[in-house]
Structure 1
Amino acid sequence: MIPLNQRLKKVSSYIKGDCLADIGSDHAYLPIYAIDNNIVKTAIAGEVIKGPYDASKRSVSDHQLNSVIDVRLGDGLSVIEEKDDISSITICGMGGPLIAKIISEGSDKLQNQPRLILQSNIQSSAIRKCLAQLNYEVIAEDILEEKGHIYEIIVADFTKQQIQLTEIEEKFGPKLIMNKNQLFYKKWKHELNSLYKIKQNLNPQQHHDRLKEIDEEINLINEVI
């Protein structure tokens, strides 16, 4: 059985359907776990760099799953083909802006309207903004801490309705703000302290616009927490 960390186990709990595409697969741990636990029947592990691609190939081969997990080399969602009939896409362990870029540039690969399960390390707001533009509705969110880092997981399904998020929903998460737990407050208090430190080091004359942005962000966080 593949050892999976708490973060990826939580991601796996949201996978639906028969075929998973895991982008930036990190040794194909998540696809292997999903197959071993009968979460999906087949999977694709996508890697953009040859080294991680080779590592994923070895992992799949070591677990004797070559017949059900296809490791592919390519950029973002370009590894997905129409005939794959993908039901869930996972992208984990990246910054929010990069994840948003991947799903935006690969939006033509979302024709089957797969579920998107996206785990970002920073700036999740970029993901939520992109999802709304692609008519994907956030149906669940999680916040968790692992090895001193706080991560957010965003789960989204396609909808025919137009999605409009408020500034607060986009920044903090429409589901997370409905259930502000201890980790939520820890994350945003840390962000607040970082902003105060940045503010102290800026010259009011030279950095007027940046200071205005920081003050607006501080006020927004204080409003929520």
Structure 2
Amino acid sequence: MKHTIKLSRRLTNVASFLSPGSLFADIGSDHAYLPCYICLQDNEARAIAGEINEGPYLSACKTVESYQLTNVVDVRLGDGLEVLNKNEVTEIVIAGMGGSLIKSILDDGRDKLLNVKRIIVQPNIEEQNVRSWLLSNGFKLTNEIILEENNHIYEIIVGDKADEINSSKSTLEEKQLFFGPLLMSNPNPVFYKKWRSEHSKRAATLEQIKKANTLHKEKIRQFEMELDWIEEVLQNEKKYY
């Protein structure tokens, strides 16, 4: 029997936000490494590994069997939160997808979230879409981290179910959703590295948009506003480093 499993730094950080003894779902689990990692360390934890494609589903089944965890990690084939029954889990992980796709998965599976106390997401792009969804659906942002691994920069966002008293609509500005309010308040070198790169990409894209035969005024306005935001944030780098 194998006793250990090595996760990437990205997934290790995702795993660190799961509560001890949690009953959680890992949606888009791929090889089910994350559920196996958790359940090998935590005898009280139970996991559901959801996968939409048959190939990764079969790979996940093999991983769970190889670690002899079939009694604690249930691998299921299905689309998003469809693999869950109502009130079946208290925490959900969705990592390694675009922010719009994560938002759609949460939207489509809203009826499966009534008992969910924590949602941990790692969107590859469009992080603001996920933040906006969490805040609009009764969750508060309790943790955000940004890290670099193998020349890729990742953001991990944690949303906890808000108390009824504090569940009124968030007053966060669009700019805070764009950068992440917690990342903005505690930036690190990776944060600045990301936004230097994003500034270059957006500036180049804006030039291409302006050269197009049909001018998209709203898109131009959005890009110009985001570039102003990024420049303002990058000016603060000197204060920290």
Q: Which moved more, 1:32-41 or 1:186-195?
A: 32-41
**SS of the residue 1:129 aligns to:** helix
Matched ranges for 1:1-12 at <5 A = 1-12=4-15
Q: What aligned pairs does 1:1-225 form with structure 2 within 5 A after superposition? A: 1-16=4-19, 17-38=21-42, 40-82=44-86, 84=88, 86-159=89-162, 160=164, 161-164=167-170, 165-201=172-208, 202-203=210-211, 206-209=214-217, 210-225=219-234
Q: Deviations over 1:80-115 (max 9, x none)?
A: 11352x121100111111111111111111111331
Which consecutive residues of structure 2, in runs of 5 or more, have no partner in the other structure? 235-241
* Structure 1 counterpart of 2:75, one-letter code: V
Q: Secondary structure at the match of 1:81?
A: coil
Change (3 A) 1:69 1:220: same
The CA deviation string for residues 156-210 of structure 1, in whole angstroms up to 9 with x for no partner, is 1011212412111111111101111111111111110011112233327732513
Instruction: Determine helix, strand or coil for the equivalent of 2:37.
Output: helix
| Distance in 2, Cα, partners of 1:208 & 1:153 | 32
Secondary structure of the corresponding residue to residue 211 of structure 2:
coil
Corresponding residue of 2:239: none
Q: Measured at CA, do residues 83 and 179 of structure 1 come closer, stay the same or move farther in structure 2, by a change above 3 Å?
A: closer
- The one-letter code sitting in structure 1 at the alignment partner of 2:139 is Y
What TM-score do the two structures reach when normalised by structure 1?
0.94
Q: Aligned partners of 1:131, 1:167: CA distance in 2, in Å? A: 14
Equivalent pair of 2:140/2:161 in contact (CA under 8 Å): yes
The gaps in structure 1 that reach 5 residues or longer are none
Q: Distance in 1 between matches of 2:93 and 2:6?
A: 18
Q: CA-to-partner distance for each residue in 1:118-159, whole Å, 9 max, x for gaps?
A: 011111000011111111101000001111111100001011
Aligned-CA RMSD value: 1.5
Q: TM-score, normalised by structure 2?
A: 0.88
Instruction: Give the total of aligned pairs.
Output: 224
- State the AA in 2 paired with 1:212: R
Number of the residue aligned with 2:237 = none
Preserved contact between residue 45 and residue 69 of structure 1 (Cα < 8 Å): yes
% same residue: 42
